[in-house]
Amino acid sequence: MSHLPWRPLASMAVATIAACAPGARAPAPVMSAGTVVRAPAHAIIPAPVSVQLTADSFVVDSGAAIYIDQTASPEVERIARYLAAMLSPFAQPEPRRAAASESPPHGSFRLSIGGGAPEGAESYALTITPDLVALGAREPAGLFRGVQTIRQLLPAGVENRAAVRRRLAMPAGRITDAPRFQWRGAMLDVSRHFLSPEDVKRYIDHMALYKLNRLHLHLADDQGWRIEIRSWPNLARHGGRTEVGGGPGGYYTQAEFADLVAYAESRYIAIVPEIDMPGHTNAALSSYPELNCDDVAPSPYTGIRVGFSALCVQRDTVYEFVSDVVREIGALVPTPWFHIGGDEVERLTDEQYRAFVERVQEIVRSHGKRMIGWGEIVPAALVPETIVQHWKRDSSHVHAARGGSVILSPSPRAYLDMKYDSTTVLGLNWAGYISVRHAYDWDPAAQIAGVPERAILGVEGPLWSETLETIQDFEYMAFPRLAAVAELGWSRQGDRRWDDFAERLGAHGPRMAAMGINFYRSPEIRWER
Ligand code: TNX
């Protein structure tokens, strides 16, 4: 694994490519017929482990075929089709099968599973010559990540299906890559303001470009319950009908949720469901009087205060409720994680709170899941498999010391709902202003004393939605900071430098624009046009 080579070699490639394309650093895509359109030499985010580019290039000619092995699995074939769709109308939509020993004709792509790639499910090796683009990985997940690298080596026009009269070129060279952390997440708060399944899919597609692999959905809070629970139907029917500001809210049927899970899975993103408890539960309390100690269901809540609600933790009914919810949601996700929230409870004694967390941990385990909770859960007797999500000062080092792992979402760095600066209209600022640089410029391994690299599962950028109504609002806060989170999660600390990231990010402006992302044009970045 090399930490250095990509930078000097990348700038060398910039120099050589500059000689044959307009614009010194990063030539703008030109959309006229017959023009070879070049991507910036290397603006890959997150930065790969090793990039060596040459002055040669590979041109995607119409009719380019994508080859897979004779014995390739249906999943490899699906990824080949995904690549074909990305290259459309240039590539042939149907992948071709060929023996590994056969060399595909000039101008082809080849996707293969094999030993040549670095170890790890998401790792890949990419070799580009003027003749062939060869992508190899140990597992299909690695091929999918590698396809995103191919995508980023192509000009931004590849994102825009309407621009058909173009040829696509990419620099030749070799890239080998593997993630630093296994958890590279984003969180959407669909409770404070509901997002339609289509909007969530849009976000998933944007996450895929940056090799993120976990989408944490905050599915229940005071202001809204967002998933159908068949054994407690009033949760969605009543609890789903509100949101901050009094809008219509909404919820996902189980079929819609299963469809979201499958959609995310096809991009190698796991959906991590969160039902916040015992606090942040007004929507549930309002739906079922028996969850309240006084048997009185409170009114729906559409404000943005926190801390005032709590389940009646001394009642067995509450644990039946929790078990039903975990069982039904758990059955909809193939992955092991179930997030119980656990934050900001002001209505219970410490002892009541800890006992609740311990009992719920047992329920989650009894359904075959691994519990995740916000930092507040640490004082409970947690098993090492339980995962703690750090967001503010907590005792996550205690969890690390008992062999547990931690997801880092420190609010002053990773909270995507914080304003960029004092002029940002959307968002909050209780954890400070978070410029793109501030979101990028920190080392997860140095963040918390007593939580070393080996105890860190990864990083996650939560996007709370008290002030965000439309998907465009969500995107404005998430982009480009989510790209910084992605690089923090994927790239080695020694391979990350703000100046360099800022330059690569500048080249993502046209790409994000072509994707239709409503991103914040931060003045810290020299955006390419
Ligand atoms: C704190 S972070 C919360 C959320 C709010 C967020 C707003 C956390 C575990 N709890 O309930 O939405 O701040 O930034």
Cα(464) to centroid(ligand 1), Å: 7
Average per-residue pLDDT in the chain? 92
Residue 374, ligand 1, Cβ within 6 A = yes
Average pLDDT over residues 465-469: 98
Q: How confident is the model at residue 263 (pLDDT cuts 50, 70, 90)?
A: very high
Residue 417, ligand 1, Cβ within 6 A = yes
Q: Evaluate whether 402 touches 396 at the Cβ level (below 8 Å).
A: no
The residue whose CB lies within 8 Å of the most ligand 1 atoms, and thus the one to mutate among 187, 280, 344, 345, is 344
Q: Atom of ligand 1 at shortest distance to CA of 409? A: 2
Cα(447) to centroid(ligand 1), Å: 20
pLDDT in tens, 103-122: 999 999 999 999 789 999 99
Q: Which residues contact 363 (CB under 8 A, 6 or more apart)?
A: 319, 322, 323, 326
Residue 464, ligand 1, Cβ within 6 A = yes
pLDDT value at residue 382: 98
- Residue 404 corresponds to which tokens in the numbers above? 């547990």
How many C-beta atoms lie closer than 10 Å to residue 247's C-beta?
A: 15
Residue 304, ligand 1, Cβ within 6 A = no
Stretch(es) of the chain classified as CATH 3.20.20.80: 183-490
Average pLDDT over residues 237-255: 98
pLDDT value at residue 89: 85
Whole-number Cα distances in Å, 398 to 378, 388, 451, 459: 7, 10, 9, 19
* pLDDT greater than 90 at residue 297: yes
Separation CA 159–CA 66 (nearest Å): 19
HSE toward the beta carbon, residue 21, CA cutoff 13 A: 28
- Between 82-91, 305-314, 398-407, the lowest mean confidence (pLDDT) is in 82-91
Whole-number Cα distances in Å, 200 to 23, 203, 472: 37, 5, 12
Residue 306, ligand 1, Cβ within 6 A = yes
pLDDT value at residue 116: 82
Name the residue at shortest CA distance from atom 8 of ligand 1. Answer: 343
- Between 86-100, 216-230, 306-320, the lowest mean confidence (pLDDT) is in 86-100
- Residue 437 corresponds to which tokens in the numbers above? 């640089």
* pLDDT greater than 50 at residue 38: no
Separation CA 289–CA 151 (nearest Å): 52
The residue whose CB lies within 8 Å of the most ligand 1 atoms, and thus the one to mutate among 189, 306, 374, is 306
Residue 59, ligand 1, Cβ within 6 A = no
Name the residue at shortest CA distance from atom 5 of ligand 1. Answer: 464
Query: Could you confirm whether domain 183-490 is CATH 3.20.20.80?
Result: yes
pLDDT in tens, 450-459: 999 999 999 9
Average pLDDT over residues 168-180: 96
CA-based nearest residue to 275, from 311, 305, 231? 311
Stretch(es) of the chain classified as CATH 3.30.379.10: 22-177
Task: Say what the pTM is.
Answer: 0.92
In this structure, the chain runs to a length of 529
Name the residue at shortest CA distance from atom 2 of ligand 1. Answer: 391
Catalytic residues: 344
pLDDT value at residue 2: 31
Provide φ and ψ at 153, rounded to 5°: -80, -20
Q: How confident is the model at residue 157 (pLDDT cuts 50, 70, 90)?
A: confident
* pLDDT greater than 60 at residue 1: no
Q: Which residues contact 289 (CB under 8 A, 6 or more apart)?
A: 295, 296, 297
Of residues 166 and 477, the one with the higher pLDDT is: 477
The residue whose CB lies within 8 Å of the most ligand 1 atoms, and thus the one to mutate among 464, 466, 467, 468, is 464
Q: Evaluate whether 243 touches 223 at the Cβ level (below 8 Å).
A: yes
pLDDT value at residue 72: 97
| Torsion 263-266-267-268 (CA) sign | positive
Q: Evaluate whether 339 touches 246 at the Cβ level (below 8 Å).
A: no
Q: Which 3-state string (H, E, C) describes 317-350? A: HHHHHHHHHHHHHHCCCCCCEEEEECCCCCCCCH
Q: Which residues contact 144 (CB under 8 A, 6 or more apart)?
A: 79, 82, 208, 267, 268
* pLDDT greater than 80 at residue 10: no
pLDDT value at residue 39: 39
Cα(401) to centroid(ligand 1), Å: 26
pLDDT value at residue 165: 57
Separation CA 257–CA 320 (nearest Å): 22
The structure tokens 């309407």 sit at: 162
pLDDT value at residue 37: 45
The residue whose CB lies within 8 Å of the most ligand 1 atoms, and thus the one to mutate among 343, 372, 465, is 343
Percent of the chain exceeding pLDDT 90 equals 88
Separation CA 114–CA 190 (nearest Å): 40
SS3 77: helix
Q: Atom of ligand 1 at shortest distance to CA of 221? A: 11
Residue 428, ligand 1, Cβ within 6 A = yes
* pLDDT greater than 50 at residue 12: no
Instruction: Output the CA torsion 163→169→173→175 (10° steps).
Output: 10
Of residues 41 and 79, the one with the higher pLDDT is: 79
Q: Evaluate whether 199 touches 215 at the Cβ level (below 8 Å).
A: no
pLDDT value at residue 62: 80
Cα(71) to centroid(ligand 1), Å: 49
Name the residue at shortest CA distance from atom 13 of ligand 1. Answer: 464
Name the residue at shortest CA distance from atom 11 of ligand 1. Answer: 306
pLDDT value at residue 162: 63
Q: Evaluate whether 44 touches 87 at the Cβ level (below 8 Å).
A: no
* pLDDT greater than 90 at residue 410: yes
**CATH C-level class of 22-177:** alpha beta
Which ranges of 122-163 does DSSP label H, i.e. alpha helix? 140-153
Residue 394, ligand 1, Cβ within 6 A = no
For 406-445, b/e burial (b = at least 16 CB within 10 A) is: bbbbbbbbbbbbbbbeeebebbeeebeebbbebbbebebb
Residue 210, class by beta-carbon neighbours within 10 Å (0-12 exposed, 13-18 middle, 19+ buried)? buried
Residue 391, ligand 1, Cβ within 6 A = yes
Q: Evaluate whether 220 touches 279 at the Cβ level (below 8 Å).
A: no
Name the residue at shortest CA distance from atom 4 of ligand 1. Answer: 464
The structure tokens 């899970």 sit at: 261
